[in-house]
């Protein structure tokens, strides 16, 4: 039983939100390569929404294109989520390894990515009066992924339902702290760089006269 290929396992967890992740864990399956691909697809779905959305729906400032916010919203948020979740849950008896957290999180994101592509495609066909369809697909993808995410976190750490929710909220808090620290570290390094550069300039002036 449950002898699937990797893509079969992905299908299985998406269409079996109640038991899928438990099965995945029990069989010790899930591929890190796949999750990397999924996160890239997440980035591309955001990119597609930014650039390929139908003109009547696209309210982005399209005069300039900046890829950094998109990377932040996809890859950086994903990594901070994984790191935050791992650091919270290792303290609270979570059984998930960092690798498993990364894999399960990305698997849970698949419906969101797929429906994001779907609504981007539909926005090229539908007029503004029919925006309810796009909204419907967006919410469908979001809701589905949310349910999967709760299940994934529950399965990976072997938590009760309530504990999962609390740990997820705590993870969001941890993400904020992580990002704050990241910004702080960046600023500090900038200061250090500035200091070193100033010293270098000073020395240069002295030597050069």
What is the contact surface with other proteins in residues (CB under 8 A)?
A: 54-56, 59, 61, 63, 125, 127-129
CB-nearer residue toward other proteins: 53 or 171: 53
Q: Cα separation of 107 and 155, whole Å?
A: 13
Min CB(55)–other proteins separation in Å:
6
Q: Cα separation of 85 and 102, whole Å?
A: 10
Min CB(200)–other proteins separation in Å:
35
- The answer to whether 164 touches 30, Cβ cutoff 8 Å, is no
CB-nearer residue toward other proteins: 28 or 63: 63
Min CB(135)–other proteins separation in Å:
16
Q: Torsion over CA of 135, 140, 142 and 147, rounded to 10 degrees?
A: 160
Q: Cα separation of 73 and 16, whole Å?
A: 28
CB-nearer residue toward other proteins: 59 or 204: 59
CB-nearer residue toward other proteins: 3 or 129: 129
Min CB(53)–other proteins separation in Å:
11
Min CB(52)–other proteins separation in Å:
14
Q: Cα separation of 29 and 35, whole Å?
A: 12
Q: Residue count of the chain, please give it.
A: 209
- The answer to whether 30 touches 107, Cβ cutoff 8 Å, is yes
Residue 22 burial (CB count, 10 A): 16
Min CB(60)–other proteins separation in Å:
11
- The answer to whether 39 touches 75, Cβ cutoff 8 Å, is yes
DSSP 130: G
- Name the token pair of 116: 């994001």
CB-nearer residue toward other proteins: 60 or 73: 60
CB-nearer residue toward other proteins: 56 or 97: 56
């Amino acid at each position: 039983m449950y002898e699937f290929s990797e893509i079969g396992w992905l299908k299985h967890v998406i269409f079996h939100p109640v038991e899928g992740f438990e099965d995945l864990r029990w069989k010790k399956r899930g591929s890190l390569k796949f999750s990397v691909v999924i996160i890239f697809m997440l980035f591309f779905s955001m990119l597609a929404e930014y650039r390929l959305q139908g003109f009547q729906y696209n309210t982005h400032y399209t005069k300039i294109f900046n890829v950094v916010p998109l990377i932040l919203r996809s890859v950086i948020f994903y990594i901070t989520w994984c790191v935050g979740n791992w650091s919270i849950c290792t303290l609270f008896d979570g059984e998930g390894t960092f690798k498993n957290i990364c894999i399960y999180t990305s698997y849970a994101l698949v419906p969101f990515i797929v429906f994001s592509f779907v609504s981007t495609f539909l926005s090229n066909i539908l007029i503004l009066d029919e925006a309810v369809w796009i909204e419907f697909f967006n919410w469908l993808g979001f809701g589905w992924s949310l349910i999967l995410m709760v299940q994934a976190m529950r399965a990976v750490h072997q938590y009760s339902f309530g504990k999962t929710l609390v740990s997820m909220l705590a993870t969001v808090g941890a993400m904020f702290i992580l990002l704050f620290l990241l910004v702080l570290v960046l600023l500090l390094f900038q200061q250090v760089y500035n200091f070193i550069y100033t010293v270098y300039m000073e020395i240069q002036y002295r030597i050069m006269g």
